[in-house]
Amino acid sequence: MQVLTTDVAIIGGGAAGCYAALSLCKNGIKSLIICKGLVGKSGASLFAGNLVISGRLLGNTDEQARNTAEFLIKYHNQFLIDQHWARRCGEWIEKVYYPELEEAGLYFRRDDAGQVVTSPGQIRSVAANVQGNSGVPFMDLRRKQIIKACIPWLEETVATALLRKPDGSVGGVFCLNYITGEYSVVLARAVIMATGYSDRLHARSTGTREMSTDGITLAWRVGATLVNMEMQWWHTNDIAHPPSWQRMQVYPNPMLGSEKSARMVNSAGEEFFNQQQDDPLAFGPYTVQLKALAKQVRAGKARYDGGYYAGFDHCDAAEVDNYTTYGKTFRQLGLRFPQQMVETAVTSHYRQGGIDVDTTTMRSSITGLYVAGGVGGHSNGLIGLATYDGHAVANSLARDLADLRSGSIPDQDIETESRRLSQLRQSSGRGMPPIKVKEKVRELMWEKVGVEKNAASLRSALDDIERIRQDLLPNMWILNQTKTANYEWLDAIDIVNMIDACELIILSSLERKESRGPFFRQDFPLTDNDKWLVANVLKKSGNGIRFEQRPYDLPFLKPDFATKDNLEVTW
Amino acid sequence: MTSAYAPTQSNLVGRLGQAEEHDTLAARNSRLAPGDIVAVKILRFDRAEDRSAYQDFRVPYQKWMRVLDALNWVAENEATDLAYRWFCGSKMCGTCAVRMNGREVLACWEAVEPEMTIEPLRNLPVIRDLVVDRTPYENKVASLEPWIERTDIYQSFPEPLTHKQMKDASKALDCISCMCCYSACPVIGLGDLTNFAGPAPLVQLGQTALDPRNNPMKVKRALALTGIFNCISCYKCEEVCPASIPIVSRIIEPLKAKTAQLIPEMAKHSLALRAIVAARGRVDPSALMLRVQGLKVFVKLPRAIRLLVRGKIDLIKTFLKIKTEASEAAGRILRRRAATK
């Protein structure tokens, strides 16, 4: 076991974690990135299709700038967002983010004459090189900036526990390199949790393979408060087959250099969603799409897991191919593009909720534990917002670090964690292999905690979770106990976390007695701004849990109704 | 299994080596029907025990199944200890590349074949089963310092830049560093016999070296480390690239041209060959030897005599037959090409 010491340990190698590391470095603060995948090559940041223009950049009008803010607050977060934070983000993105990226070398797509290509309309966006693939050069740039700055990282290394000093504050991370099988203890004066918001908890999930709620569960175990865990976003048109393509999206967002975007038809071939007509302001129209789909499902003309189609059959191929990657999926399946459409299905995408965070300091409720990006419960982020968090958390730590002393971690805690992991590797029960347990959990989440849920389905899901915890977890078996690249071992570690997170999500879903945006409760179909325009706060108390409600300050935008059928709400 | 699908000219994809008859994407996707069995043979390897062996699996075909779906099925149902790397499943992370029936493919992108043998990438150490050690590649890329260094101070967003200027760099930016090309490259396969950086690191370098915003001196430093003229332009890299990057024509060739311009001594062989072809309309091995090695030829005299005896070089041709019709044509073509660049 190696012991490493640094000022700040960062868990997560996506947009938030990388930018936090780079900003800390500029302030002369040492950090170390612990990344479960490969820095810049795993996690949700990779999937950024394009980048929204905020403020008055690139000739944006005042109205377009306002639209972008409205989109973020209303369509992207259904008002469950700190509007002051949103404003700070917008200003920073306009003044710092775009110039910083371009100065570092990011290529914002131009035309041959040198104009930055944008999507036209009420909210505009740009792409890094190609629309649909922006996250790849974006995160590759971050990876290289980290290399250039000589910031150390541990890759293909899973953080398995936060380590606490005797005073209860967080002062280290226990982790396992699952390629070599080596344990590491990273001692730090503070830990930044930046594990993202796209965990694979449902049978269909957009997250990358390694995303399994580690950030949420590790924080919860040391007592951090969580918020809005029920608020799950969905992609409405991801490719239905094969299973490995469940993240491959027929992007409904406005296309660069074109007035058109993808359209969707039901099993009868009737169009039921076309972003340009049905939702011109929702730049990422996923929730409005989902509501349109729900009506089709109820009419028997589509299913959440398929039976409806999306594509670009109303466009010229060149119009789509000029600046986007959207044609590639169709062609790779041997479909005629753009004439043929492809069968699509719903996929669990971002979780809006997460660790409760003070958005001015990026502190969690536990001393020494900070939060950046999607794993926080303060917003359903975009890559720009996650990056802003990296900046904000680094600034906050530059102020706080003097007060955060490194302290000793009790040997016994390190011993206990190392024993727990070794026992998982040697699982030799008579039950299931860990991957099967994972699949079982994802199936039950899809079935009972999917797009449409109610008290009965949620209670039944809780029973299932408890049975899995009691019967399956202690009886898992692992075929090969090698320490080298042992993904069975990793699955066993993951599933313990996933079970806990699922339980918290289900309890939070039971608590929110309304429907809001992508959160559909069949037994509470109304969006209730009187009672539920609040943060659904989840706290640990003794051995149990406690819910609290915290109202949002609404300085800039307010909803214009008290209660309304959620399916009729246009955001 | 035969397919009723008959390819026509219009649905042949214009990529070298991949557009053979009955090998179109549509044909590849319709070879199997749900319920058919895919016979999968996977090369398993355990470094600790230094043991490798093929293992057979019978995987039920699902609609539009990818190689990754087959691996997932095996790992969930037959060999739960199968080690294979993937993160995104959507051609973005570039970590799931393997060799399928001897060809490098991205597992998440490629359709399964009725019978397929899956092996790890070549030219990298294997850790376990299909998981390779990416370190040699990563170290090479890092040594090339693939970031831009500006000569002028950056002003403001957006800076003046056109897509025309970024045309080649933009192609390189499609790279997901999956290392398919690195595995397919026969020169990398020679190991330490050359100092060739390999196609993937060159594409990574091309992202910034072909960017007009970069300082040429910085580019020069990086190019000096690439051994780029060891590339034999066999196009294997282009053939396997899942991102369809024209690696030779749009990345390596422009980088070679840049090297010839910035570090002419690295391009000595290539420039001499070009000059000889321009002058003579053919390759002349002895002239090439003389130009590249100069007086060193006399140090290596026994080798030269051996070449002479075996008819590999022909001094009469070299010194007497210079001007021919071919030489005039070649001169015209090469001058015209140089003029259009």
Alpha-carbon gap: A53 to the closest alpha carbon of chain B (Å):
12
Q: Which residue in A has a C-alpha nearest to residue B26's C-alpha?
A: A334
**Residue B48 and residue A482: Cβ atoms within 8 Å?**
yes
Exposed / middle / buried, residue A543 (Cβ in 10 Å: 0-12, 13-18, 19+): exposed
A30 touches chain B (CB under 8 A): no
Q: Is the ipTM of this complex over 0.95?
A: yes
Whole-Å CA distances, A544 to A185, A220, A538, A547: 29, 12, 11, 10
The distance of A125 to chain B (nearest Cα, Å) reads 14
Surface of A (160-199) touching B: CB under 8 A: 179
Q: State mean pLDDT over A350-364.
A: 97
Q: Which of A139-153, A277-291, B115-129, B174-188 has the lowest mean pLDDT?
A: A277-291
Of B62, B79, B154, the CB nearest to A242: B62
Amino acid B274: pLDDT:
87
Question: From the candidates B126, B163, B177, B205, which should be mutated to test the interface with A, based on the most A CB atoms within 10 A?
Answer: B163
**Res. B2: pLDDT tops 60:** no
DSSP state, residue B278: H
Read off the pLDDT of each residue in B161-170 and give the average, rounded to a whole number.
Answer: 97
Taking the C-alpha atoms of residue B16 and residue B20, their distance in angstroms, rounded to an integer, is: 9
**Whether residue B6 has pLDDT greater than 50:** no
Which token pair is B208?
């910034």
Name the one residue in this structure whose structure tokens are 């992202």: B207
Q: What are phi and psi of B213, to 5 degrees?
A: -80, -10
The chain-wide mean pLDDT, for chain A, equals: 96
The two structure tokens encoding residue A312: 């670009």
The order of strands in the sheet holding A8-11 is A153-154, A31-34, A8-11, A190-193, A369-371
pLDDT-based confidence at A406, cuts 50/70/90? confident
Q: State how far the alpha carbon of A386 is from the alpha carbons of A18, A44, A536, in Å.
A: 10, 11, 22
- Burial degree of A260 (CB within 10 A; 0-12, 13-18, 19+): middle
Q: How confident is the model at residue B10 (pLDDT cuts 50, 70, 90)?
A: very low
- Scanning A503-542 for CB atoms below 8 A from B yields none
Q: What pLDDT sits at residue B287?
A: 87
Contact (Cβ atoms closer than 8 angstroms) between residue A244 and residue A266: no
A:236-265 residues touching chain B, CB 8 A cutoff: 241-248
What pLDDT, in 10s, does the model give residues A554-571?
999 999 999 999 999 999
Residues facing A31 on adjacent strands:
A8
Collect all residues of chain A within an 8 Å Cβ-Cβ radius of residue B207. Answer: 137
Nearest to A99 among B24, B27, B157 (CB): B157
**A213 in Cβ contact with A12 (< 8 Å):** no
Residue B26's pLDDT is what?
83
CB-nearest to B87 from A37, A129, A147 is A37
Residue type, B3: S
Whether the Cβ atoms of residue A215 and residue A459 lie closer than 8 Å to each other? no
Q: Report how far Cα B84 is from the mean position of its chain's Cα atoms.
A: 23
Residue among B157, B70, B8, B263 at smallest CA distance from A54: B157
**Residues 6 or more apart whose Cβ sits within 8 Å of residue A571:** A74, A75, A78, A282, A287, A288, A517
pTM for this predicted structure? 0.95
What's the rounded mean pLDDT across residues B220-249? 97
Give Rg (Cα) of chain B.
Answer: 24
A116 to chain B, any CB pair closer than 8 A? The answer is yes
- pLDDT the model gives residue A218: 98
**Is the separation of the CB atoms in B228 and B255 below 8 Å?**
yes
Interface contact flag, A108 B86, Cβ < 8 Å: no
Four-CA torsion A33, A36, A37, A42, nearest 10 degrees: -80
pLDDT at B1 over 50: no
**Mean pLDDT, residues A236-258:** 94
Q: What is the pLDDT of residue B236?
A: 97
For B109, the closest of A137, A332, A488 (CB atoms) is A332
Distance (Å, whole) CA A218 – CA A213: 8
How far apart, in whole angstroms, are the C-alpha atoms of residue A286 and residue B200? 36
Q: Is the pLDDT of residue B336 over 80?
A: no
Specify the pLDDT at position B120.
Answer: 98
Indicate yes or no: CB of A243 within 8 angstroms of CB of B69: yes
Q: Are A156 and A178 in contact (CB under 8 A)?
A: yes
What percent of chain B lies above the pLDDT cut of 70? 92
Please compute the mean of the pLDDT values over residues A477-498 and round it to a whole number: 97
Q: Between chains, do B92 and A135 touch, taking CB under 8 Å as contact? A: yes
Residue pairs between chains A and B whose CB atoms are closer than 8 Å: 180
CA distances from B170 to A273, B15, B152, B174 (A): 33, 19, 22, 7
Q: Is A457 on the interface with B (CB under 8 A)?
A: no
**In chain B, what's the furthest Cα-to-Cα distance?**
73
Q: Do A334 and B27 touch (CB under 8 A)?
A: yes
Least confident interval from A11-15, A126-130, A250-254: A250-254
* Confidence at residue B20, expressed as pLDDT on a 0 to 100 scale: 54
pLDDT tier for residue B8 given thresholds of 50, 70 and 90: very low
Q: Which of A30-44, A452-466, B19-33 has the lowest mean pLDDT?
A: B19-33
Q: What is the pLDDT of residue B4?
A: 39
Nearest residue on chain B to A47, alpha-carbon basis: B92
Count of beta carbons in the 10 Å neighbourhood of residue B136? 16
Q: Is A546 exposed, middle or buried (0-12, 13-18, 19+ CB in 10 A)?
A: exposed
Secondary structure of B90-153 in the HEC alphabet?
Answer: CCCCCCCEEEECCEEEECCCCECCCEEEEECCCCCCEEECCEECCHHHHHHHHHCCCCCCCCCC
Q: Which residue has the higher pLDDT, B217 or B50?
A: B217
Pairwise CA distance, residues A491 & A438, whole Å: 8
Verify whether the Cβ–Cβ distance B93 to A333 is below 8 Å. no
How confident is residue A326, by pLDDT bands cut at 50, 70 and 90?
A: very high
Q: What average pLDDT does this structure show over A132-156?
A: 97
Amino acid at B240: V
Q: Which residues pair with A355 in a beta bridge?
A: A226, A376
Among B80, B86, B95, B152, most A C-beta atoms within 10 A, so best to mutate, is B80
Within chain B, where are the H helices? Answer: 25-29, 67-77, 135-143, 167-172, 180-184, 199-209, 216-223, 236-240, 253-262, 268-280, 285-293, 296-299, 301-309, 315-320, 325-340
Task: Supply angle C-alpha B264, B267, B268, rounded to 5.
Answer: 90
Output Rg (C-alpha) for chain A, integer angstroms.
23
pLDDT, greater one: A55 or A240: A240
The yes-or-no verdict on residue B11 having pLDDT over 50 is no
- CATH 1.10.10: does it fit domain A233-350? no
Looking at A474-478, B83-87, B296-300, which range is the least confident one? B296-300
Q: What domains lie within chain B, and their CATH numbers?
A: 32-132 (3.10.20.30), 135-262 (1.10.1060.10), 267-340 (no CATH)
CB contact under 8 A, A488 and B80: yes
Q: What is the pLDDT of residue B15?
A: 53
Contact A168, A6 (CB under 8 A): no
Best A136, A139, A439 member to test B by mutation, with max B CBs in 10 Å, is: A136
Under 8 Å between Cβ of A33 and A10: yes
The verdict on a CB contact (< 8 Å) between B147 and A248 is no
What count of residues does chain A have? 571
Inter-chain residue contact A37 with B62, CB threshold 8 Å? no
Residue A348: strand pairing partners:
A205, A234
B131/A147 CB distance under 8 A: no
A278 near A264, Cβ under 8 Å?
Answer: no
Q: Can you read off the two tokens belonging to residue A135?
A: 């996250």
User: pLDDT-based confidence at B12, cuts 50/70/90?
Assistant: very low
Residues in chain A with CB shorter than 8 Å from the CB of B95 are 37-38, 41-42
- Tokens standing for A549? 């409600």
The predicted structure's pLDDT at residue B25? 83
Q: Are B312 and B285 in contact (CB under 8 A)?
A: yes
Query: pLDDT (tens digit, 9 = 90+) per residue, A41-68?
Result: 999 999 999 999 988 999 999 999 999 9
Q: Which of A244, A247, A428, A441 to mutate to test the interface with B (most CBs of B within 10 A)?
A: A244
CA B238 to chain A, closest CA, distance in angstroms equals: 17
Token pair for B187:
């020169």
User: Which residues have C-beta within 8 Å of that of residue A467, sequence separation ≥ 6?
Assistant: none
CA dist A109 and A113 (Å) reads 11
C-beta atoms of B158 and A58 within 8 A: yes
Q: What is the model's pLDDT at position A440?
A: 98
**Amino acid present at A485:** A
Distance (Å, rounded) from C-alpha A507 to C-alpha A509? 5
**Is the pLDDT reported for residue B9 higher than 50?**
no
Tell which residue, B126, B129, B128, has the closest CA to residue B118. B129
- Residue A487 with chain B: CB contacts under 8 Å: 75, 81-84
DSSP string, A341-391: -EEEEEEEEEES-EE--BTTTTB-SSTTEEE-GGGBSS----HHHHHHHHH
Q: What is the pLDDT of residue A390?
A: 98
| Residues B303-331, mean pLDDT to the nearest whole number | 82
Give me the pLDDT at residue B54, please. 98
Number of H helices, E strands in chain A: 16, 24
